[in-house]
Structure 1
Amino acid sequence: MKAIQPVLKSIGVGALALTLLTACSTEDENIPIDPDNSESTEQTDPVEGDEGESIVTIDPQEFGEAFTRGDFSEIYAQTSSDFKAAVDEAAFIELSTSYNENVTSFELLSTIPVQGLMEYLWIDQSGTKGIQTYFDADQAIAGLQLTPLSSFPETDEKLSETSFIVPTTETWFTFWGGRNVMVNYHYAVESQRYAYDWSIMQNGSSYAGDPAENESYFAFGKEVVAPAGGTVISVENGIQDNTPQVETNAEQPLGNHVILDHGNGEFSVLAHFKEGSVTVAEGDTVEQGDLLGLCGNSGNSSEPHIHFHVMDDADWMHASSIRVNFEGEIDPKRGDEVPAGKN
């Protein structure tokens, strides 16, 4: 069995350590689910237990309250058979009780469909403890991770001097973004701490048709524009796009990319462009909103998406990431839709 892992990979260079409570047999596929079912906040129907007995279910939206109350036996009863095979009830209760110490509340941070499941992310009142829960279509808990959270307040609260737009011409979906490792796996790595990965989602999925074809993904071939004015200092345009969900290119993690110098010691990198689609060259001056190229799936990428972050040096691997000052004071996090930067 394998751990539940979100499918969208990007240029990340560091490993994310999590306390894993369970594993499941879900394959690394972005399987559409019924959005009406996933968004329901009404009490769900009972789940049938291993012996066919009826189990009173906890609504996914109310999981945080149940965990705070210490309803660990009830939570465990709602877990899938794979979960129970991986973790026994006594161990689950012991670890959960310890983790719940000094917690007065868990707030729902975001909800997102992942691999045919619904992911619900929770954060406690101190901002130091998180929980990732994964519910299947029958509201059984297929996976659960307890995630201690660190923060970097000095840089978390400091915004870039440059004002940026989202580098798109349509509404996109924030797959990774925010200021903790649950909503943004980049956060663990200083050079990419405030990075974003954006895709396009429709009806809970990023594609329609064959998931092994880039053309099936709604983001593939979409326009990517300059997030702010600046000078082009690095371009790559000849790297082949990956086969989605099958391969990535860790040797050339940015893939086809553009790096811009915005002045004030601030630089931005946009990565994973479609092969041959980049429209600018080194030395070019661009204005905010100018076309840079088309979204692709090159580099260390598992499906078509845009990677974007701002940094304090032109050397992206050794720079420090800077939190982005977006026009309109938006602050996207995992699960949020972001408006087009240029219409």
Structure 2
Amino acid sequence: MKRNLAEKFMRTRILAAPLLIAVLALGGCGTDKGGDKEVQTVNQHNEADNHTTGRIGGKEIADQLLAGKYERLYAQFSDSMKSIVTLKDFRAMGQSFTSGIPSFKLLSSLRLNGYESLVWNEPSGSKGLTASTDGKGTITGIQILDHPSYPATDHAYSKTTFNYPFQGDWLVYWGGNNRFLNYHYEYEQERYAYDFLKVKDGYSYEGDPKLNQSYFAFDQPVLAPADGVVVAATDGIPDNEPVGKMNEEQPAGNVVTIQHNNGEYSTLAHFKKGSIQVKKGDVVTAGQLLGKCGNSGNSSEPHIHFQVSAQMNKAMTTIPISFKDGRKPIRADVVTGTSPNK
């Protein structure tokens, strides 16, 4: 079980970073691993152009791209973006990729740690656009890619209905059925996984961003999402510090897997070292304390990783999660968990 989890988590790198940075992938980039290009530390702010008059707002980027305003967009690129692509190449790739697209629909807008991240789809859902901007409107990342889809499994929701594995309000950082809403989606073994952050006033931390204790998610209770039996529990793996350092040797970190009554399994990862309160064979009830949120494993800041599988084998293929509140949350949504059992 430990080896299988390690194989799964090594493939996808569990990240909860604030933005896409210096990424341009237009057309013909179907093999690009967007998740691997996430910045791996928090709050690395880029220096922006001081000139902000007449700048394109984040939500206007898609319309401006379709309108062919390549010069205006390029003028707002960060220096890192400009070092990747010339205006001539940006225009050529943009014209090629947007040909035949009548519009983009905004799916998600997330403001976090001083950045705004936006996701759009074109009407058929086969192509998507994502962009990130800093607090001064500088475009720090942009991607336009074909979206793979998996209709055979996208609607095969779990038979078990799950609570959220926490109490209070948490932010969906990754979640949804395309790679821009949920970077896990590209990988079968984690396709329908969620990453949750604790956020206050648009920030996931307060104070020194290199310290785990600065993050609102760190040391928060992680709860059993449904009744079941613990079939695997690993503890003792240190939390990554400074924040941004990644443990690729033990990618799931401290982790708990629960078997539920109908044979489905839930897995929660990246617990705080020494916090797990259950062991293999324990019977747990929904809302029971499993441990505390941490930053162990291949994680770039404290967060909860939650996924559900239909069977427990080497593949551990995920399935979409049926939540008790009936919602199908996506990136940037805020969801509310219940209090733990007393």
Confirm or deny that 1:322 pairs with 2:319.
yes
What stretches of structure 2 of length at least 5 have no aligned partner? 1-7, 15-22, 27-37
Following TM superposition, the consecutive aligned residue runs of length 4 or more in structure 1 with deviations greater than 3 angstroms are: 26-29, 113-116
* TM-superposition CA deviations, 1:76-126 (whole Å, max 9, x none): 233334433432111111100111012111111212245643211111111
- Which of 75, 78, 91 aligns to 1:77? It is 75
Tell me how far apart the structure 2 counterparts of residues 301 and 31 of structure 1 sit (CA, whole Å).
Answer: 15
Query: What is the aligned length?
Result: 311
Matches within 5 A, 1:158-307: 158-307=156-305
CA contact (8 A) 1:107 1:123 kept: yes
Q: Is the 8 A contact 2:228 2:258 kept in 1?
A: yes
The answer to whether residue 142 in structure 2 is matched with residue 144 in structure 1 is yes
Q: Report the TM-score when normalising by structure 2.
A: 0.84
Q: 1:14 to 1:301 in 2, by over 3 A?
A: closer
Q: CA deviation at 1:342?
A: 3.4
How many Å apart are 1:71 and its aligned residue?
Answer: 2.5
Q: Which residue of structure 1 aligns with residue 34 of structure 2?
A: none
The reply on whether 1:92 has 2:90 as its aligned counterpart is yes
Partner of 2:42: 30
Using the alignment, how far apart are the partners of 1:82 and 1:282 within structure 2? 48
CA contact (8 A) 1:12 1:192 kept: no
1:272-316 CA-partner distances (Å, limit 9, x unpaired): 11111111111111111111111111111111111100002224x
Alpha-carbon deviation of 1:142?
Answer: 2.5
**Which residue of the other structure, out of 308, 332, 337, is the alignment partner of 2:334?**
337
Conserved 8 A contact 1:295-1:306: yes
Aligned-residue offset at 1:47: 6.8
CA RMSD between the two structures: 2.5
Residue 20 of structure 1 aligns with an amino acid whose one-letter code is: A
- Aligned pair in 2 of structure 1 residues 205, 11: CA closer, same or farther (>3 Å)? farther
Query: Of the candidates 56, 59, 64, which is equivalent to residue 58 of structure 1?
Result: 56
Provide the rounded CA distance (Å) in 2 between the counterparts of 1:176 and 1:278.
Answer: 24
Q: Please give the TM-score of this superposition, normalised by the length of structure 1.
A: 0.84
The C-alpha deviation readout for 1:158-216, integer Å capped at 9, x for no partner, is 11000001010121111111111111111111111000011111222211111221111
Which stretch has the larger CA shift, 269-278 or 199-208? 199-208
